[in-house]
Amino acid sequence: MATQPLLTHVNLGRHVLKNRIAFPPLTRQRSLQPGDIASELMATYYQQRASAGFMITEGTQIEPRGQGYAWTPGIYSAAQVEGWRKVTDAVHAEEGVIFAQLWHVGRVSHHALQPNGEAPVAPSAIPAANAKAFIETAPGAGQLVVPPTPRALTVEEIRELVKLYAQAAKNAIEAGFDGVEIHAANGYLVNQFISEHANHREDEYGGSLENRLRFLREIVTAVAEAVGGDRLGVRFSPLFASTDEERVYIGLVESDPHHTYVEAIKVLGNAGVAYVSIAEADWDNAPELPDTFRKAIREAFSGRIIYAGRYTAERGNRLIDAGLADLIAFGRPFIANPDLPARIANGWPLNPVNPATLYGGTEEGYIDYPVYQAGK
């Protein structure tokens, strides 16, 4: 039998990956408190899934203002760097490759999560319609809340944020990560700057698409200079805007997403970025990403292309075989199946995911999903 495309080797930046199955960024809210520090529990979780050819961590905030959900980890303090080193050591012990996702939620936050109870920051003072932040109400307990109207960043503050992204990338490399991914998707800060809906600035960071892409361009340039373009990826979500019962997702769909994101991807190509990751809508009746867009990405970008969404192995294999994707990321299937590559390789059945234990908690629904055993 021919080898499945998903199970073949591929180069990504300076790395040779053992397969094309990616473990994508998945918010799990299990960092140590206080301090939002990656824990031994998290190290076990990532190590269990290190048979993935490529791994990207859950979003990790680059500064305190970047947090929109209680108990998510950061990568700006010395203690956080040390915590993440436990994770990278565990993954590397299994010969895995892991990048840290650098995250800033911008306006999708709340006074309760901000330093000194201040308003969240954003490109413009426009509230995030339908978005929800998550705040702690008691140890281990919390609730979804509506974000307040944010405060518009000054130009000087924007330039400081670019430096914070570069410093977070350096921190990630110090923590042992193989590279970093910039979270520019799902309606968070970088996406807010790109979007015509969230960015109404009248200076060099707003107005035209070229100006709205300036923040992305400056971050990509600064991070590439700090750690190398071959250790950098960027995640976008061109058609991602919905809600569901597990988590409120807020995306920003532009009037011309094809043009917007092809131009954004050209920014990555000009900086020598190793890969682009496209988060597709993954709920019932969600819009399909058109093949014309997939082909345009391939034409515009010479690096690796990762797709994440409601993928089966069969669908992922077809996309790789067609030359439109290099890696396929599996979210919920990887949460519930730590041995997912082996299950794909052997056609073994998958464990179902438990929606009740996705966010927050301890070991249950986190590190206790079983690997496949015949007859059980």
Residues identified as active-site:
188
DSSP label at residue 276: E
The whole-angstrom distance between residue 298's C-alpha and the CA centroid of its chain comes to: 21
Phi/psi of residue 180, nearest 5 degrees: -140, 155
Q: How far apart are CA 116 and CA 155, in angstroms?
A: 22
The whole-angstrom distance between residue 202's C-alpha and the CA centroid of its chain comes to: 29
Q: How far apart are CA 120 and CA 136, in angstroms?
A: 17
Q: How far apart are CA 171 and CA 3, in angstroms?
A: 38
Q: How far apart are CA 307 and CA 328, in angstroms?
A: 5
With contact defined as beta carbons under 8 Å apart, do 281 and 309 qualify?
Answer: yes
With contact defined as beta carbons under 8 Å apart, do 282 and 317 qualify?
Answer: no
Q: How far apart are CA 212 and CA 215, in angstroms?
A: 7
What angle is formed at CA 37 by the lines to CA 33 and CA 42, rounded to 5 degrees? 105
Which amino acid appears at position 180 of this protein?
Answer: V
Whether the link from the prior residue into 34 is cis, omega within 30° of 0, is: yes
Q: How far apart are CA 121 and CA 105, in angstroms?
A: 9
Helix 78-93 with 155-174: angle, nearest 10 deg: 40
Q: How far apart are CA 255 and CA 195, in angstroms?
A: 10
- CB atoms < 10 A from the CB of 47, how many? 19
Q: How far apart are CA 200 and CA 325, in angstroms?
A: 34
Tokens of 69: 């959900």
Total residues found in the chain within this entry: 376
Q: How far apart are CA 135 and CA 304, in angstroms?
A: 36
